[in-house]
A and B are shown apart, each in its own frame.
Chain A
Amino acid sequence: MSLDMFGHDPWWLILIKILVVFVFLIVSTILVIWFERRVVGRMQHRPGPNRHGPFGLLQSVADALKLALKEDIMPTLADKAVYFIAPIISAMCAITAWAVIPFGPEVSIFGHKTALQITDLPVAVLVVLACSGLGVYGIVLGGWASGSTYPLLGALRSAAQVISYEVALGLSIVAVFMLSGTMSTSGIVASQAENPAVNIFGLEFNVPGWYAILLFPSFVIFVISMVGETNRAPFDLPEAESELVGGFHTEYSSLKFAMFFLAEYINMFTVSAMCTTLFLGGWRAPWPISIWGAANTGFWPLLWFMGKLVLLMFFFVWLRGTMPRLRYDQFMRLGWKVLIPLNLVWILVVAGIRVSSEQEAGTAKTLIIGGVILLAVGVIFFYPRRKQYQAPAVADLGVGGFPVPPLDLKVPPSPRTKKIAASREATGVSASTTTEEEG
């Protein structure tokens, strides 16, 4: 696999590829909405949509038709042009990112040898990141241009959230770049095919090539921040329906709303496909299947790719069915104070291991020095600053075995309120003393 494969396709082949990817995205959005509703239904002990078509498969088609026929509302206070453009930006950026996602190896279509990928660049991963970075404009501008309070709050949250989690996302990919030595998506898939030999303390053994195993911390950080990046539960603060009505798309209706919806689901596919490509071996067959020689040739890889994609989508739905929404400050703390520092330390570790493995002698020495430094960093990072929670001596059994708050519950004032109260008392006292002197 190399970049030379790309850029030689005839125009009709490029057109076919683009059309197939576009149709794939639209159809799978409809299917995944159905999938999500069914799975969440199962998780909540209810059947989910099951009336229209077999297993309720046509429910999303009916919903899409209904949405298209609804009235298109333009709020009076809206900034008309921006209000109109915002959903287009959102959907366009989401779809553009799929231009560089590799679906499979080189195959022969109508006698032409071509890769199952629209195109590839030496910096393809950056293109995907840039598209998701531009996609946030759709949300921010949509929320602002609606001329309404709740959408504006949703837009603000979204801007802060996507920027914070994009940093973590980008940093988690850096380790992959360092190991694979390339930023092109097809190159990263190819570099996960081999089982590199690792030499630790004179022991040499082969490790599996998937970066999800080799770079496990990066993988975990990527998975967490990809949920944050796509505004999905438990990180769906921009559209928290219990706080902000519908968040940034409260004022949107009809096809404009449908475009936001489409963009959200396509973004989920995009990050899932990126996760597959960067960490889970891309379109390559997973281990037991890869023993079969023909597993990685022809059109078979499409199947493995889709399988990994569906598993990741199930993971998204599972999260939504399981986790409560985070509070905003907790969410930001997780991003800035946990994910990013961990990521930076991990990148240093990967760089250190790479440098030490390139030197012939002294691998053990570098590893020991590195280990000591890591231990020191770990101690600093996890040094306990908070008071430990002490369980009460007598367990609170509540009223009749039910945990209810006591009737004489007193909430202690927060430190800030205390400070404000103290300053008010101080000024009050000084004012009273002056009046006494005058009197």
Chain B
Amino acid sequence: MTVTDVLVCALGAVSLGAAIRVVTTNQIVRAGLWLVVALGALAGVYLVLTAELLAWVQVLIYVGAVVVLMLFAVMLTRAPIGRSDDLDRPRLPAILVGGGAGLGLAAVLADAYRWSYIGLSGVEPGNAEALGREVFTGWALPFEVLSVLLLAALVGAIAISRPEVGERREES
């Protein structure tokens, strides 16, 4: 085991543990904070694997913006300090669906990369130049499709949150 292996395993364990706490904790804001820990540990994994740009973008966007927005939404509606007992949910179906999906994905990944080994020394570091070249040459179409998807989601969110658009349609 090299230092890289140990770090990846440790960060992965932190990420997994924090992710489990996200769904088991009874305090809704604390769940958001555990999500921060999970995503941060994932950024650490990227950093260990020399994908610097990806790691910092992960911190910047997921930790710095997405989870803050989620906390914002939670606090805007209700954010009790301490336990909330009404966070109960039917446990068994959730465990079945979540565990099944997780195990299935893990099995597929483990099967795909079973004995393949890529040395870190031979890999080009994931800096901005390399990532940009990949995205805008090999992955240009998926990239554009994703951006159209996001744009559609954005327009949809605006349309839903503006009640007068629907009202006008009813009148005419």
Contact = CB atoms under 8 A, between A and B. Distances in A.
B60 to A, nearest CB: 5
A77 B81 contact: yes
9 contacts: A82-B30, A121-B52, A123-B52, A123-B127, A127-B56, A129-B64, A132-B64, A133-B68, A163-B72
A175 B65 CA distance: 22
A123 B36 contact: no
Interface of B: 29-30, 33, 36, 52-53, 56-57, 59-60, 63-65, 68-69, 71-72, 75-76, 79, 81-82, 125, 127-128
B81 A122 contact: no
A268 interface: no
A137 B36 contact: yes
Given A130-B56, A133-B65, A166-B64, A82 B33 contact: yes
Contacts, number: 80
Interface in A144-191: 144-145, 147, 152, 155-156, 159-160, 162-163, 166, 170, 177, 183
A79 interface: yes
Contacts of A145: 81
A269 B128 CA distance: 27
Contact of A140 (B52, B56, B59, B68): B68
A163 B56 contact: no
Interface string A91-127: 0000000000000000000000000000001110011
Contacts of B69: 159, 163
Interface of A: 77-79, 82, 121-123, 126-127, 129-130, 132-134, 136-137, 140-141, 144-145, 147, 152, 155-156, 159-160, 162-163, 166, 170, 177, 183
B75 A130 contact: no
Contacts of A130: 56, 59-60, 63-64
A152 B79 CA distance: 10
B134 to A, nearest CB: 16
A155 B32 CA distance: 15
Given A134-B59, A136-B64, A155 B53 contact: no
Given A137-B36, A183-B128, A144 B60 contact: no
B87 to A, nearest CB: 16
Contacts of B125: 122
Nearest to A135: B64
B68 A136 contact: yes
Contacts of A170: 60
Contacts of A156: 72, 75-76
Give the interface centre of B36, B64, B128 by most chain A CB atoms within 10 Å.
B64
Shortest Cβ-Cβ A-B pairs, 3 listed: A133-B64, A126-B56, A130-B59
A140 B65 contact: no
A426 to B, nearest CB: 13
A145 B128 CA distance: 38
Contacts of A134: 59, 63-64
A126 B53 contact: yes
A152 B56 CA distance: 29
A133 B43 CA distance: 14
Nearest to A121: B52
A122 B56 contact: no
Contacts of A123: 52-53, 56, 127-128
A126 B72 contact: no
